[in-house]
Amino acid sequence: MRGFWIVLVAVAGAACGGGGESTSRRAGKAAAPVSLATVESSPKENVPSALDSAEQDGLPDPLVNPSEIISGGPPPEGIPPIDNPRFHPAADVEFLKDTEPVLALRVGDDDRAYPVQIMTWHEIVNDVVGGVPVSVSYCPLCNSAVAYDRRVGNRVLDFGTSGRLYQSALVMYDRQTESLWSHFTGQAVAGVLTGTKLELFPMATVSWADWRKAHPDGHVLSRETGHTRNYGTNPYPGYDDVSTSPFLFEGKVDGRLAAKTKVVGIRDGDASVAVVNDELVRRRVIDVELAGHRLVVWSKPGTVSALDASSVAEGRDVGATGVFVPATGGQELHFEAAGDGFRDRETGSTWDVLGRATEGPLRGQSLEPVEHVDTFWFAWAAFRPETTIVP
């Protein structure tokens, strides 16, 4: 694992450099990115900081053992979040290959794509989407992406990287109270806000081509981040090899699956399921039961892994997944794979990976997306040890 330690230190070192000429500007990209809606975050509060110590006087008892929150190498914000994101209209983007993964987020009628080639180097974007203050996070070490509403009561939080890991997963901190938060659960685990949970938004990892086709009027996070990074390269080549071990994971791996097995994790309260990605890729459509509700999980080929090759665009195809409530307009639907998309048996309508009916009687309708994570088994099982495995 020494190689990955070196990688993380190198990322932190790059983070200490100031902003410079961006990759897209050097490449001669003419269209300048724009800032969209912004909102003022709440001021910093004069309270004890969990960044200093999670167990100091004046703080609630942490939800996890503080000794298990460990340094990942970089200092706080050594991997810098993006606080003033700028965006390109989808039609103007030239720096992405069709099969590259992007994080797809919709809030209201506002559609955004966050390229993983950028997220890998920053891990957090503090944004406003559909008028809602949100944070979009990506943890390369557990291969998971989660989006949160960053409002807590009358506070508007913004988040940074703490430089620490819990169960090999990103630990965030809010700059207002310096409480520590689990990226994986969206819950404060130490500090003034201990126990507070953020609302999670459904977000999918899909190919740039699929997202662009679905949202031609959407906006894409720009490489003009204010930082100089080698966007498009993967600083963790080979990390998703199932035969390798997780970085700085000090828990016990649940032996039902290999640690680096890719799964689709779905949660509802205390109930959770993990769908094995290889089986989902083979079958394309799997129905699951969770907390008394039927959900449909599906996979479409054509999205590469961001953690495989040295170049993100050259990773192997691992597919894109979606999880949905299989009903619309009060009609329950059952799905099967149909070419690159999906078809419901009731009306014969065809659907894309983002849950939109593109042809047939239901054209123009959308399924309700369900919050889920594409992640490694070791991380899902660590946070959801009672999970059921499907199939």
Give the burial class of 384: count Cβ atoms within 10 A of its Cβ; 0-12 exposed, 13-18 middle, 19 or more buried. buried
Q: Enumerate the H helices of the chain as residue ranges.
A: 2-15, 23-26, 116-122, 208-214, 277-283, 377-383
Contacts (Cβ under 8 Å, ≥6 apart) of 19: 225, 226, 227, 228
Return the pLDDT at 28. 44
Stated length of the chain: 391
Which residue is it, tokens 């009628």?
109
From CA 335, how far away is CA 284, in angstroms rounded? 10
Return the pLDDT at 155. 97
Return the pLDDT at 6. 37
Digit-coded pLDDT (tens) for 316-370: 999 999 999 999 999 999 999 999 999 999 999 999 999 999 999 999 999 999 9
Digit-coded pLDDT (tens) for 249-265: 988 999 999 999 999 99
In terms of Cα–Cα distance, which of 218, 35, 202, 224 is closest to 112?
218
From CA 281, how far away is CA 320, in angstroms rounded? 9
- Looking at residues 191-215, what average pLDDT do you find? 98
- Looking at residues 258-280, what average pLDDT do you find? 97
Which residue is it, tokens 């990773």?
315
CB-based contact 210:353 (threshold 8 Å): yes
pTM above the 0.85 mark? yes
Joined together, the tokens standing for residue 233 give 């390269």
- Looking at residues 74-79, what average pLDDT do you find? 96
pLDDT > 70 in the chain, percent: 92
Return the pLDDT at 52. 94
**Mean of per-residue pLDDT scores for the chain:** 92
Digit-coded pLDDT (tens) for 201-210: 999 999 999 9
State the CB neighbour count (10 A cutoff) for residue 255: 8
Contacts (Cβ under 8 Å, ≥6 apart) of 335: 285, 296, 298, 326, 342, 343, 344, 345, 351
Contacts (Cβ under 8 Å, ≥6 apart) of 170: 123, 137, 139, 141, 142, 161, 183, 184
Return the pLDDT at 17. 43
From CA 163, how far away is CA 167, in angstroms rounded? 13
Residues linked to residue 341 through DSSP beta bridges, in sequence order: 338
Return the pLDDT at 13. 47
Return the pLDDT at 37. 86
Beta strand pairing status for 271-276 and 285-290?
A: unpaired
From CA 206, how far away is CA 44, in angstroms rounded? 36
Strands of 17-168, DSSP E: 34-35, 69-71, 86-89, 101-107, 110-115, 124-129, 132-139, 144-149, 151-152, 155-156, 159-166
- 30: pLDDT strictly greater than 60: no
Return the pLDDT at 31. 75
pLDDT range class, residue 23, cuts 50, 70, 90: very low
Give the CA distances from residue 176 to residues 73, 162, 189, 203, 263, in Å, rounded to whole numbers and listed in that order.
Answer: 23, 13, 15, 26, 34
State the CB neighbour count (10 A cutoff) for residue 332: 11
Least confident of 3-7, 171-175, 210-214, 248-252: 3-7
